[in-house]
Amino acid sequence: MTSKGSARLKIGVLLSGSGRTLQNLLDRISAGEMPGEIVCVISDRADVKGLERAREAGIANYIEKDSKAVFTILRSHHCKLVCLCGYLRLLHIPEDFLGSVLNIHPALLPKHGGKGYYGDKVHSAVLAAGEKDSGCTVHFCDNEYDSGEIILQKRVPVLAGDDIKTLAARVFAAECEAYPQAIELWCQLKRR
């Protein structure tokens, strides 16, 4: 999946929690299944496992809530791509980063997205709505929650007897495949 010329892609990751998605990307890069390298991790919260994962991997890491300061850090690391990995704060994206900030959402947008829809709240809403399927969406970020152009979606069935935990596990497995694929698609678009 890694292609010549994309191996040096510098990626910045923004997160607010455990860093499971960060770990998935690190594992994919290490296995040669995804282009680039993660050069910095920024969290809007100090006491999260995601920062610990970044430190363990030897990645520069920061705690920052202000969008301007976030992009100053990303520029200082020469990031060409920014991946939101469970980042819960609305990010104000400057013009020079438009089209270079991706997010993954644990539902099939435009359903079950927007402010306040994250994590188990999304899966609870999917189950309450009686949906037959769910999944994940990777999309470009704009200056609104979950409203940017969709890059790709992966569907998973909602099974009889599913609860939030079982549905979340199935959706996260799809996310682990979808985000690396979307990053590769982004790289292909940039090479054109």
Q: Which residues are catalytic?
A: 105
- Among 119, 121, 156, 151, which Cα is nearest to 135's? 156
- Tokens 């819960």 correspond to 88
Interatomic CA distance for residues 183 and 9, integer angstroms: 10
Who contacts 2 (Cβ-Cβ below 8 Å, separation ≥6)? 32, 33, 34, 35
List C-alpha distances in Å: 151 to 8, 10, 75, 137: 22, 20, 24, 8
Tokens read off for 159: 């099974």
Q: Phi/psi at 121 (nearest 5 deg)?
A: -60, -35
Please, what is the angle between helix 120-128 and helix 164-191, to 10°? 110
